[in-house]
């Protein structure tokens, strides 16, 4: 009997996952994303913004799959890359990204690549099968997945890592839904229906221009009203200062709660800072 699971999503309804996708969802790398908020401290301003990187990753997979169907592309690597595209995110998502650059010269994209290739393994992987082992079991080359994320597969990569890709579509719609703002009203189906491949690139028919313009406007408004909200930025700065002034430690594999608990035990400055958040 085929192992199939339907995961209920508030935006897209039932999302079907089976085979390798189902096993990838159960990996420690993906399960960790259940404990990392998509928008960090944005919930201090928009209380509904408690959604996670896991939900976004699942949504990105769903949108990428719809794109493949619209373009008659039968390539499971696209869906795998979309599902795994954020496994390298650290706690509180983008908040501490610059500290990763300062300390290790890497960002979450580089760490994602290392995790998929098996060059970086989570400390608690003894409780589950890591991503690389799942890929190997199904005969999927990890390098093919990272090639999609690195933009090396032309129009295939553009669906996951492009100017108007599945990642952006999902996070705009999802973030608007959970914050309650009206800026993320995007006609996703219209955008996907007008997608075409021309000379190795993803292009859009003229009749889809208005929907694309709406998406670009929504992105600009979401940045001003949500992503760069002054109160959220203050909270992010407080957390960043607490980490900066702590003895050097690798926080890249932690969850949100693990980081907070670690900082509480590090010193009075760190404890005071995080307790004020």
Of the two residues 20 and 2, the one the predictor is more confident about is 20
Q: What is the pLDDT of residue 3?
A: 86
Question: Which residue from 85, 63, 78 is spatially nearest to 193, judged by alpha carbons?
Answer: 63
Residue listed under structure tokens 């909200």: 229
CB 167 within 8 A of CB 160: yes
Helix (H, G, I), strand (E, B) or coil at 14: strand
**36: helix, coil or strand?**
coil
Delineate the domains of the chain, giving CATH numbers in brackets. Answer: 4-229 (1.10.3210.10)
Please tell me the distance from the alpha carbon of residue 171 to that of residue 58, in angstroms, as a whole number: 11
Six token digits for residue 33: 């994303």
- pLDDT reported for residue 80: 98
239-273 tens-digit pLDDT: 999 999 999 999 999 999 999 999 999 989 999 99
> What mean pLDDT value characterizes the chain?
94
pTM strictly above 0.85: yes
The rounded radius of gyration (Å) of the Cα atoms in the chain is 19
pLDDT tens column, 190-218? 999 999 999 989 999 999 999 999 999 99
- C-alpha to C-alpha distance for 147 and 156, rounded to whole angstroms: 10
* SS3 call for 11: coil
Question: Which among 14, 150, 16, 2 is positioned nearest to 84, based on CA atoms?
Answer: 150
Q: Which residue has the tokens 């999802």?
A: 174
Q: Pick the residue with more confidence: 180 or 183? A: 180
What would the 3-class secondary structure string for 142-178 be? HHHHHHHHCCCCCHHHHCCCCCCCHHHHHHHHHHHHH
């Amino acid at each position: 009997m085929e192992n199939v699971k339907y995961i209920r999503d508030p935006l897209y309804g039932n999302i079907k996952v089976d085979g390798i996708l189902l096993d990838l969802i159960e990996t420690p790398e993906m399960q960790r994303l259940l404990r990392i908020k998509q928008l960090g401290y944005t919930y201090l301003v928009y209380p509904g913004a408690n959604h996670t990187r896991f939900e976004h990753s699942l949504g990105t997979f769903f949108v990428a799959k719809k794109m493949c169907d619209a373009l008659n592309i039968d390539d499971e690597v696209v869906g795998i890359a979309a599902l795994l595209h954020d496994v390298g995110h650290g706690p509180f998502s983008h908040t501490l990204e610059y500290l990763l650059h300062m300390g290790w010269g890497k960002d979450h994209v580089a760490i994602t690549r290392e995790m998929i290739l098996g060059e970086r393994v989570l400390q608690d992987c003894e409780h589950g099968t890591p991503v690389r082992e799942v890929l190997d079991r199904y005969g999927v080359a990890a390098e093919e997945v990272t090639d999609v994320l690195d933009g090396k597969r032309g129009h295939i990569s553009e669906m996951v890592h492009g100017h108007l890709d599945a990642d952006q579509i999902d996070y705009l719609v999802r973030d608007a839904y959970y914050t309650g703002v009206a800026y993320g009203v995007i006609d996703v189906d219209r955008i996907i229906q007008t997608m075409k491949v021309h000379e190795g690139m993803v292009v859009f028919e003229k009749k889809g221009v208005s929907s694309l313009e709406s998406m670009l406007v929504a992105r600009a408004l979401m940045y001003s009203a949500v992503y760069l909200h002054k109160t959220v930025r203050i909270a992010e700065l407080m957390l960043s200062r607490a980490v900066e002034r702590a003895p050097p430690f690798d926080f890249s594999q932690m969850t949100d709660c693990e980081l907070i608990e670690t900082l509480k035990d590090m010193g009075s400055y760190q404890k005071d800072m995080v307790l004020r958040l």
